[in-house]
A and B are shown apart, each in its own frame.
Chain A
Amino acid sequence: MSVTHDPDRLLQAFLEEGPDVMPDRVFIAIQDDVHRLRQRTVRGPWRLPTMRTFLASAAVIAIVVAGAGVFFASRVVFPPTGTEPTASPSVADLPEPEGVLDPGVTYDSGSFTHPFAFTVPATAGTRFNEDIWEGSHTLRLRPQTGGAITIHDGQGLPNDLCDPTGALPDLPNVEEWLAGSVGLTVSPMVQLTGSTLSVRYWDIELGPDCYAGGDVPGSPAIVFSTGEHHRLYEVQVGSDAMLVATWGRGYQGEGDNVLDSLNPLTDELVRSFTSE
C-alpha cells in the first residue's frame, strides 16, 4: 500500500470517502413533500408592466369610483364634522420615479425584489436618470448638487469591492464583504438613526492596488476604482438587505468633494425609506 504525506492529497482522499448517492427513501420523502406542499406564489412586480396598462387600469378604477360616488352621494347624508378625514396614501397612490423627482414627494421603488418607498429630501432637487440595470435591481438618483446615489436590491454586485472578478447573486453581509475585500480603507460602522428601517453605513476608500479598469466578468452593476471614496449603506428590508452607494469621483469624472454634500443628503434619503 502506498502512503502519501502530502496534506492536499490526504485531504482530497479524505473527502472522496463517504456516501455520494441519495438513498431512495430520501427521494420518496421529497416526492411526498412536493405533492403535499404548494409552491410559493411570487408577487408580481410593484410597478405595473407598462404605463399604458397602468393608465388603462387607473382610468377604469377612476370611472368605477366616480360612478359609485355619484350613486351614493344621491342617497347618503353625511353627518356634519369639524374636520375632513385624512386618508393615508396606499402604495398604489405613489408615483413612479421617472424624469425629474420633486423634493418632498414620496415615490415607489419600481419593480425591486424588495419594494420600498422613498421620499426625495426637501432640501435639494433630485434628478432621476432612468437607468435601471440588471432587470430592475438598481435605481440611480442624480442630485442636482452633483454625484449620484445608487440603490441595489443586492443582485449583480461585485464579489470583491477592491478586486472584482465576478458578480454576486445576493447581497452578502456588508461588514463581511468589506472585510473580505482586501485593499480598502474602511471607517468604523455607523448605525444611522432616525430611520424606520435598520440602516448602517461605512465610508470606504479604495487603495492603490484596487481595480483600475478593464472588463469584469459577470458585468457587476457597480465597479469601484482605485482612489475613489464611497459611502455604503446596508438597509435591512424584512429578512433581506439592500445596498445604497454614493458616488463622487467615480461618477462621470466628478470629484469626491461632492461627497461632502452628497453623503448627508443620502443619509436623509435613506432615512425616508419605508417598506411594506
Chain B
Amino acid sequence: MLATLVDRAQKGDEEAFAALTQAVGDRCMAIAYRILRDAGLAEDAVQTALTTAWRELPSLRDHDRFEPWLHRMLVNVCYGEAKRRRRVSANVLAMVPDALQTPDATLTVHDRDQLERGFRRLSPEQRAVLVFHHYLGLTIAEVADHLGIPLGTAKSRVRYATAALRGALEADARTPVNSKERPA
C-alpha cells in the first residue's frame, strides 16, 4: 500500500503524497517531539522533513524503504533544530506543559522531572537511538538501519544514553531531594 503511494508520488502525484503524509505524519510527529522535547520545533521538523521528502522522492530507489529513508531525513532535520535551539534557552520552560499532556501513572512528577533533565543532557544523536529503540520498539540493528549508522555506533549510543539516564535517576535517589520517601 505504502509502496504504491510512494510510486505514484515519485511521479509527481500530489494526492498520493498527501495520502502518504497522512499515513506517516503521526509517527513522524511522535519521533520529532521525543527527540526535540518541544512541540513547536517538532512540527517545524516534520514539515521540513516531509517537504524535503517530496522534493527528493525521485531519487529514492527502493520504494519499500520509504519510511527508513524518511526517518533518516527527519532525524537529520531534528539534529539541526536541536542545534539551533541550544541558542534559545527560553524554550526549555515551554516544553514542560507538553510533556504533561498525557501523564503516565508509572511516573511520579519527580521521576518525570529527573528524566526530562537527564534526557536534555543527552546529545540529539543519543536521544534519537533511545526513541527508536525504546519508543518505536525497534531492535538495535533496525535502529542502525533507520538512522543510517553502523551497528556498533547504534549499540554504543544506546548503551551510553541508557547508562546516563539511569545514572541521573540513581544519583537523584541518593540526594536529599528524594527524602520524601523517608519516614518523616
- Name A residues whose Cβ lies closer than 8 Å to a Cβ of B: 1-5, 7-23, 25-27, 29-31, 33-35, 37-42, 135, 159-160, 162-163, 165-166, 168-170, 172, 176-177, 179-182
Contacts and interface: CB of A to CB of B under 8 A. Distances in A.
Nearest to A18: B33
Interface in B38-64: 39, 42-43, 46-47, 50-51, 54-59, 61
Contact of B148 (A14, A38, A172): A172
B55 A37 contact: yes
Given A4-B106, A166-B151, A18 B58 contact: no
B12 A176 contact: no
A13 B59 CA distance: 38
A38 B105 CA distance: 47
Contacts of B50: 30
B2 interface: no
Given A2-B106, A169-B65, A37 B54 contact: yes
B17 A34 contact: yes
5 closest pairs, A vs B, by CB?
A: A180-B152, A22-B25, A180-B153, A20-B30, A13-B106
A1 to B, nearest CB: 5
Q: Point out which of A5, A20, A177, A179 has the most chain B C-beta atoms below 10 A from its C-beta.
A: A20
A263 B133 CA distance: 40
Contacts of A23: 29, 43
Given A17-B100, A160-B152, 4 more contacts: A15-B135, A18-B98, A39-B54, A169-B69
A30 B59 contact: no
A18 B26 CA distance: 12
A19 B47 contact: no
Interface of B: 12, 14, 17-18, 21-22, 25-30, 33-34, 39, 42-43, 46-47, 50-51, 54-59, 61, 65, 68-69, 72, 98-108, 111-112, 115-116, 119, 130-131, 134-135, 141, 144-145, 148-156, 162, 165-166, 169-170, 173
B115 A19 contact: no
B166 A18 contact: no
A25 B65 CA distance: 27
A7 B116 CA distance: 13
A12 B134 contact: yes
A18 B30 contact: yes
Chain B interface, >50% SS class = helix
Chain A interface, >50% SS class = loop
B99 A39 contact: no
Contacts of A14: 104, 107, 111-112, 115-116, 119
A165 B145 CA distance: 11
Contacts of B59: 40, 42
B30 A39 contact: no
A176 B61 contact: no
A29 B107 CA distance: 35
B47 A17 contact: no
A40 B106 contact: no
Contacts of A40: 55-56, 58-59
Contacts of A166: 141, 144-145, 151
Contact of B150 (A4, A11, A41, A177): A177
B107 A30 contact: no
Contact of A27 (B12, B21, B144): B21
A29 B151 contact: no
A34 B145 contact: no
Contacts of A163: 151-152
Contacts of B135: 12, 15-16
B106 A159 contact: no
Q: Point out which of B39, B100, B105, B151 has the most chain A C-beta atoms below 10 A from its C-beta.
A: B151
A258 B116 CA distance: 55
A13 B43 CA distance: 22
Nearest to B155: A180
Nearest to B59: A42
Q: Point out which of A30, A160, A179 has the most chain B C-beta atoms below 10 A from its C-beta.
A: A30
Contact of A172 (B58, B150, B169): B150
A3 B105 CA distance: 7
Contacts of B100: 17
A33 B54 CA distance: 9
